[in-house]
Each structure stands twice: as C-alpha cells, then as structure tokens.
C-alpha cells in the first residue's frame, strides 16, 4: 500500500546532499553564453533610445538585443499586452528593456552600468487610490450578487462600513527565474526552464521567435520553489534566452540574481476593499456589499483571474444570505503582479475575517462565537454567494473540534487575566478558517495527460504535465502509479516534465497538480494493469503459451478484474490462489507483443460557471481548515510574536500525510509572513527598495510559532478526487490570517473607545501607530 503512506519526497536526499540539479547547476556546454536583462530607471514615460556603445566595448561582452530583435515582442496569459522588452512606453521601474550577452556573469555585471537610457519621464501611478481616482482599470468584473443586499442592509439592526487593505508579497523562491536555451537542428529550440507552466513557456518562446509550437521543447526537471511566481512570469525570461540562442546559435543561460528577480518580477496583488456589512444583535451577517480593488501593476498578467478568485472567496467560511460584490483590477506603474499561493483567495477571505473581528469588537463579543454563528451549515445555509452548494461540509466539525482541542475557552480566560495585569505586553487569540475552492476557475485548464512506460524489467517511468516545485507532486504521482501496479514505490520514477511527452498542459497551479495529473496517471496505469490481468487470465486458462499461442486481443467482458490482486510485487489470481511475480508477468507481456505503455487524458467533471450571471459550480470541491493563533505584542516597541498556533484541516484521505503536513506548516508560515513582516517598500519614483533579504523580512525559524500543532480530521467522503484525497498546496496559506486577526484581537484590550483598525502587514510600525491612537 503506497497510497496514504509517508514515503519520503523524491528529492529529499538530493536537496540535503546537493545532488538535486537546478537550472544553474547544469554543466556549461560548449560556447555557452550568459544573458543579463537590464531594467529602465523610471516607472513611467517613453524610452527614447538606448546607448550600448560603451557596454559593448567592455571585456567579455558579446552582444546586446532589444525589443526590435524579437519576431513578436508581446506576451500575456490572458491579454497579450506585455512587452518582453520595453519598446517605447515604460510600465514600471526596472522593467527589462535590453539584454546583454557576455562570456561570464562578472563581465555582464561590470558592463551593465555602461548602458545609458534616454527617457522622457511621465508621472507614475503608484497607489490603488490614484488608479481609482483616474479610473485606470485593467479589468472590471461582472458583479456577484445573491439575494437583495441593498434592502438587507437597510433593514439590518447594525451596520459597519470601512475599508480593508493588504499589501503585496514577494514569492521569495530560493531559485530565481532561470532558464537555458539550446539551439537545435533546423532552427528548433530546446529550453530548460524553472517554470510552473512548460506549455506556456514553449508557447511564448515560439511566438517571440517566430517558430511553431512543434519547433520548441520546454523541459522542467524541478524548481527551487515557484509559489505562483513562475506560473506566467517564467516565460518572458525564457523568450530572452531563446532569442540569444536563436540569434547567436549558442546555448544561452539566463539566471536572475535575487535582486534583479525581486525588482523585475510581479508579486502578490495588494488589495484595497471597501465594504458595508449589516448584522443582527447576535452578530449574524444579514447583508454584505463590497468593492474590491486589486493592484494589478503595469500589465494584465493573471490579474483578472486573481480578482475573480478574491470575489469567490470573500465569503470565507461564512454564509452570506445577501451579498453584492464588485471588483476592479487597477493599472499602476508597478511590476506586473501575478499568481501567488492562494491566487486572490487570501485577499478575499481576509476581508471577511477582518469584518467579523470588527463585528465582535462592536458587539463586545468573542469573535469565535460570531464565526460559529455564521459558519456554513451542513444541510442549510450551505449555498455560496455564487450558487455552489457545499457538499459534505466539514467546517462546523472543524470549528467545534479545534475549539475543544486547543482549549480555546481556558486560554481566552488566561489572556483576559494577562492583559489586565499591565505588563507592557498584550496578548490576543483568534480563530480563522479556510474554505478553498479547488479547480482552475477557467474551466478549460482543468485537464491533463499522462504517459506511463513499463519497462521490460518491471520498472516504471511516468510523465505528466505536473512540475515539481517542492510541493511533492512527483512523490504523490509515484505513489498513485506504484499503488496501481502493486510495486514498491522506488520502482516508479516520475520523469522530468517535457512538452515533448505531454502536450498542451495546464500550469501546475490552483493546488490541483496532483488532482489532475495524478488522475491522468491513474487512468493510464489502470489501462496497463487491465491488459496484464487479461494476459495472466489467458496464461492461467492456457490460451496463451510462449512462442506457440499469442495472447488474444483484450476483452474485459470476459475478465473479472477483481479476481486479480496486484500487490507487493506479485499478481495473485484470488479464486485459484495462483500467483506470478510482477516482473515475470511484464516480461511475458513483452514477449507476447503487448503494449506496456499507455497515454491517458483526464478532465475534471461537473464544472460549469456562468460568468454573465456569476452563478454556477466553478469548483470541484473545497479544502477546509481552521487555525487558532495566540500572539503577544510588546506595546513599547510594537514587536509581536506568535506564542502558539493550532491547525486542523480536512484533507480528505491524504495521499501522503507527511508531505501534506509539510505543505500545511510551510503555507501557514508563509501566510503569517505576508500579514506581519513582509512589507514592500518603494521610493517616490516607484523603485522597489526592499529587493533583498536584508531589506525584505520573511519569517525565520525564530518567528515560527513557539508551539505549533498541525492535525487532520478523517474524511472519507471526497469521492470527487483521486483516491478521495484533497488538494493541499494553497488552502492552508489562508490560515496565516489568524495571526493578523489575533493581533487585532490583542489591540481590542487596549482600545476601549474604538474598533482597532490596522492594515496588513501588521508590522511593528503599524501596530505602534495604532496603539498611539489609544493614548
């Protein structure tokens, strides 16, 4: 039994020994050159000319290319409007406008400052407020409406209105954007990229170079983290390297430095959301009106989809009987913001969690009671504001069990006492939830394909469109295939992702990498398994004999598949008790000239969403979870720490509980970093100043919760997904929000007159400034 087991991550040994190969670890090949994109020193304006004469004279510099060298200089997943290199109009500070080619990275870094840009600077839009004032929008969503929010608000006994603001977030993957392009015969290009989306990388490279898709192969062995940052934004860098490979007929390596990566690539979308909520004396939400504004940055990228997901997740875990939700993506002069773990979901859910914290403060109640009151029900109050009914809703169970297991009430009492003692420190406690919709909201992306090859010695190779970025998708697919064949998991290898083996793939994103690709791999494996069972059946009844009688064509009607048990490297015919080893059977299949390879295509059934009416079933199912965080603020310095976090999640039947525990833990810490310490600073010109670990603060091991408990409930009901598992990648990111609401809760103890109001991230400065208001 491989499913549900904690077999180690397929790269665990390589990652700790240094054996894992990332892009820049690939050996240099003959004549290989290095590529450096150079960004413009202005956030808005017109690029008049670029002076490269001096740079080209510098030692080790071979060439420089600009926008006009591309066959096609624009790309974009949804709207193809973003230049690979600036042509004329500048979108953001440090936007790539030139690529320098050299014999070494050192040579390039020395020559970079010799490049001179002639720019006519224009005023830049550097905030959501400015973009709203100028009505500078990339996208306006069709509103989501359920019930009659207007009259519900009019009739509501209590109302609160205000705004909620959260900042962006740097992905901080350890491997920056990286790729190597190799020129092949007949003008073909082979590109090795650190990309979550090899098919799009193939597509953007082909278009940029004037090639057809079949002339470009994109290969992804693994990424040193992606977190959404390499879903769309790996592609333009691949196009730059490929251009050099095409023009110079030499392998071209482009691996960004951390600083360049942070300055040039997009981040999580900051949001500013306005709302009006109506509720009764108990805190039951009667109506919600909200307008969401996302900072898309300079170009569209995936912003419209991200805004949609924010609108889908503004309910959090709570039933909204009457709601009217509007959404806009602002165009500003920042790097083009992009996918980041949660994909807008966190920005939507955090809004309602913040609102609930405010309702509790207003009614002088415990926020957990407000959450329990509003939580989606099992059989009633279980339809979302976009009309999807929750089936097997585990949220009420999760809240109840966490309240009990974490000793919420006892700890609340202790915090009440602690905060009354005037120690200069205040503590807070808060529970938040995640109800994350699993599926790409663009239905066509919910498909995948898999290729399974069983070799003569019984070992297996499987290839899918899934890319490994540390999340363990390879290990899960390995388990699914090993389980199907009943072979030990080391006998199955998941191969590097390549557009040559798997075509038209979707990005490994939306947490559905193992759902989609695992399902396709299962389907392909089952086909082979059935053929082998048929062969064994024929061997047993004597219709198949080596070299005398070949196995007849497969006829599954004549076969009771359940009679054959593939287990522990053996195939047992249960009725007769006879068995044959897996390797023996595979060898016989080969000698019988039976195919030991299979390809399968999978699509997620049951998805349908009417965009015009904002109604339907965009998601296959929901991954649910709850977390309680206890925090402490030093009221003199504003510094805070997480004393304890307890997480309880419903992951169905996890394929690999150990990997999932890693996902939950990592996502929570990444989430709490977003809402506490990770702040992006720009100067007045719009240049990012926090572009290295010295100025941008991700959580370190000391920042993780002092006490950190992660558990799962048992749930065997998720028949919608492979082996009844549930996706895990993004959903627990949203639980980090509980740290922010706990900080808000702590402030309540100091603020007797007003409802605490803070932005995210709740940095020490943000908390101190709020505390000042109470003096």
**Residues annotated as part of the active site:** 730
Contact assessment for residue 527 and residue 446, using Cβ atoms and an 8 Å cutoff:
no
- For ligand HPA, give the closer residue by CB, 294 or 586: 294
| Number of residues engaging ligand MTE in binding (CB under 6 A) | 20
Q: Is 339 in the site for ligand MOS (CB under 6 A)?
A: yes
Give me the phi and psi of 408, to 5 degrees please.
Answer: -55, -50
Q: Which helix (H) or strand (E) holds 286?
A: strand 285-295
Burial classification of residue 461, based on how many CB atoms lie within 10 Å of its CB (0-12 exposed, 13-18 middle, 19 or more buried)? middle
Contact assessment for residue 240 and residue 85, using Cβ atoms and an 8 Å cutoff:
yes
Among candidate residues 3, 14, 22, the one with its CA nearest the CA of residue 496: 22
Residues between 201 and 230 with contacts to ligand MOS, criterion CB under 6 A? 228
- For ligand HPA, give the closer residue by CB, 175 or 231: 231
- If one counts every other C-beta atom within 10 angstroms of the C-beta of residue 158, the result is 14
**Residue 473 partner contact from ligand MTE, ligand MOS, ligand HPA, none using kind-dependent CB cut-offs of 5 to 8 Å:** ligand MTE
* Spatial separation of the C-alpha atoms in residues 636 and 475, rounded to whole Å: 48
The single residue among 343, 386, 536, 609 that binds ligand HPA, judged by CB under 6 A, is: 343
Residues between 729 and 748 with contacts to ligand MTE, criterion CB under 6 A? 729-730
Q: Is 445 in the site for ligand MOS (CB under 6 A)?
A: no
Residues between 157 and 196 with contacts to ligand MOS, criterion CB under 6 A? 196
Burial 404-443 (b: 16+ CB within 10 A, else e): eebebeebeeebeeebeeeeebbbbbbbbbbbbbbbbbbb
Neighbouring-strand partners of residue 578:
573
Give me the phi and psi of 495, to 5 degrees please.
Answer: -85, 165
Residue 592 DSSP code: T
Q: Is 440 in the site for ligand HPA (CB under 6 A)?
A: yes
The single residue among 471, 484, 523, 525 that binds ligand MTE, judged by CB under 6 A, is: 471
DSSP E strands, 81-186: 82-83, 89-90, 96-102, 116-121, 137-140, 144-146, 158-166, 178-183
Minimum distance from CB of 506 to ligand HPA (Å)?
A: 8
Closest chain position to ligand HPA (CB): 510
The single residue among 194, 304, 430, 441 that binds ligand HPA, judged by CB under 6 A, is: 441
Burial 108-140 (b: 16+ CB within 10 A, else e): bebbbebbebebeeeebbbbbeebbeeeeebbe
**Residue 514 partner contact from ligand HPA, ligand MTE, ligand MOS, none using kind-dependent CB cut-offs of 5 to 8 Å:** ligand MTE
Q: Which residues contact 39 (CB under 8 A, 6 or more apart)?
A: 93, 94, 95, 96, 97, 260, 263, 264
| Number of residues engaging ligand HPA in binding (CB under 6 A) | 13
Minimum distance from CB of 727 to ligand MTE (Å)?
A: 6
291, two tokens: 């307008």
The single residue among 225, 488, 569, 658 that binds ligand MTE, judged by CB under 6 A, is: 225
- Give the binding range for ligand MOS (CB under 6 A) out of 36-44, 339-347, 526-534, 751-759: 339-347
DSSP 3-state assignment of 435?
Answer: strand
- For ligand HPA, give the closer residue by CB, 231 or 650: 231
Contact pattern from residue 304 through residue 323 relative to ligand HPA, giving x for each residue in contact according to CB under 6 A and a dash for the rest: -x---x--------------
Residues between 482 and 541 with contacts to ligand MTE, criterion CB under 6 A? 508-514
Q: Is 339 in the site for ligand HPA (CB under 6 A)?
A: yes
772, two tokens: 């000042």
Query: Given the rule CB under 6 A, which residues bind ligand HPA?
Result: 231, 302, 305, 309, 339, 343, 440-442, 445, 507, 509-510
Query: Given the rule CB under 6 A, which residues bind ligand MTE?
Result: 225-228, 341, 469-471, 473, 508-514, 663, 727, 729-730
Query: Given the rule CB under 6 A, which residues bind ligand MOS?
Result: 196, 228, 231, 339-341, 343, 509-510, 730
């Amino acid at each position: 039994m491989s499913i549900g087991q904690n077999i180690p991550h397929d790269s665990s040994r390589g990652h700790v020994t240094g054996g894992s190969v990332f892009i820049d670890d690939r050996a240099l090949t003959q004549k290989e050159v290095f590529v450096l994109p150079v960004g413009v020193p202005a956030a808005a304006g017109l690029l008049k000319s670029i002076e490269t004469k001096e740079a080209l004279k510098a030692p080790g510099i071979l060439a420089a290319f600009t926008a006009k060298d591309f066959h096609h200089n624009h790309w974009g997943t949804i709207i193809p409007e973003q230049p690979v290199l600036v042509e004329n109009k500048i979108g953001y500070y440090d936007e790539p406008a030139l690529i320098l080619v050299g014999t070494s990275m050192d040579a390039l870094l020395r020559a970079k400052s010799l490049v001179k840009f002639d720019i006519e600077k224009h005023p830049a839009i550097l905030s959501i407020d400015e973009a709203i004032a100028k009505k500078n929008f990339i996208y306006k969503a069709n509103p989501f409406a359920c019930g009659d929010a207007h009259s519900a608000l009019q009739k509501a006994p209590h109302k609160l209105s205000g705004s909620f603001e959260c900042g962006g977030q740097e992905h901080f993957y350890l491997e920056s954007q990286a790729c190597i392009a190799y020129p092949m015969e007949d003008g073909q290009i082979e590109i090795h990229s650190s990309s979550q989306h090899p098919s799009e990388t193939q597509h953007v490279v082909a278009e940029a170079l004037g090639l057809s898709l079949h002339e470009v192969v994109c290969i992804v062995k693994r990424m040193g983290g992606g977190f959404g940052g390499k879903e769309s934004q790996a592609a333009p860098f691949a196009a730059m390297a490929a251009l050099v490979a095409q023009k110079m007929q030499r392998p071209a390596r482009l691996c960004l430095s951390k600083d360049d990566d942070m300055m040039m690539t997009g981040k999580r979308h900051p949001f500013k959301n306005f709302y009006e909520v109506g509720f009764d004396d108990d805190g039951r939400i009667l109506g919600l009106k909200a307008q969401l504004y996302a900072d898309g940055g300079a170009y569209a990228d995936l912003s419209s989809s991200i805004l949609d997901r924010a609108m889908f997740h503004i309910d959090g875990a709570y039933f909204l009987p009457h709601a009217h939700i509007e959404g806009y993506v602002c165009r500003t002069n920042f790097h083009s913001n992009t996918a980041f773990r949660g994909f807008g979901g966190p920005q939507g859910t955090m809004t309602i969690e913040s609102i609930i914290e405010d309702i509790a403060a207003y009614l002088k109640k415990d926020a957990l009671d407000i959450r329990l009151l509003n939580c989606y029900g099992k059989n009633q109050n279980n339809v979302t504001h976009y009309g999807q009914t929750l089936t097997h809703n585990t949220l009420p169970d999760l809240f109840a069990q966490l309240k009990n297991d974490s000793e919420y009430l006892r700890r609340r009492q202790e915090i009440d006492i602690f905060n009354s003692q005037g120690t200069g420190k205040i503590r807070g406690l808060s529970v938040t939830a995640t109800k994350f919709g699993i599926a790409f909201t663009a239905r066509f992306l919910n498909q995948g394909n898999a290729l399974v090859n069983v070799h003569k010695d019984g070992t297996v190779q499987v290839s899918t469109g899934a890319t490994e970025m540390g999340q363990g998708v390879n290990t899960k697919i390995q388990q699914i295939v090993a389980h199907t064949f009943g072979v030990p998991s080391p006998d199955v290898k998941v191969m590097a992702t390549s557009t040559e083996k798997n075509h038209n793939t979707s990005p490994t994103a939306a947490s559905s990498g193992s759902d989609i690709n695992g399902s396709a791999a299962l389907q392909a494996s089952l086909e082979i398994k059935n053929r082998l069972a048929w062969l064994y059946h024929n061997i047993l009844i004597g219709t198949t004999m080596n070299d005398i009688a070949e196995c007849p064509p497969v006829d599954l009607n004549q076969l009771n598949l359940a009679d054959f048990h593939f287990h522990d490297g053996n195939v047992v015919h249960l009725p007769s008790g006879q068995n044959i080893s897996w390797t023996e059977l595979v060898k016989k299949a080969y000698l019988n000239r039976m195919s030991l390879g299979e390809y399968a295509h999978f699509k997620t059934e049951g998805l349908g969403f009417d965009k015009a009416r904002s109604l339907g079933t965009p998601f296959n199912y929901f991954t649910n979870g709850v977390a309680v965080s206890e925090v402490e603020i030093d009221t003199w310095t504003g510094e805070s720490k997480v004393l304890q976090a307890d997480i309880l999640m419903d992951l169905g039947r996890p394929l690999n509980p150990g990997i999932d525990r890693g996902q939950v833990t990592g996502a929570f810490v990444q989430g709490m970093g977003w809402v506490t310490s990770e702040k992006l600073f720009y100067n007045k010109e719009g240049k990012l100043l926090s572009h290295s670990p010295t100025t941008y603060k991700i959580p370190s091991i000391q920042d993780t919760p002092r006490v950190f408990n992660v558990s799962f409930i048992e749930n065997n009901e998720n028949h919608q997904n492979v082996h009844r598992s549930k996706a895990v990648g993004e959903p627990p990111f949203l639980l980090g929000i509980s740290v922010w609401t706990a900080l808000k809760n702590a402030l309540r103890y100091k603020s007797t007159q007003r409802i605490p109001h803070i932005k995210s991230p709740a940095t020490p400065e943000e908390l101190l400034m709020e505390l000042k208001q109470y003096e």
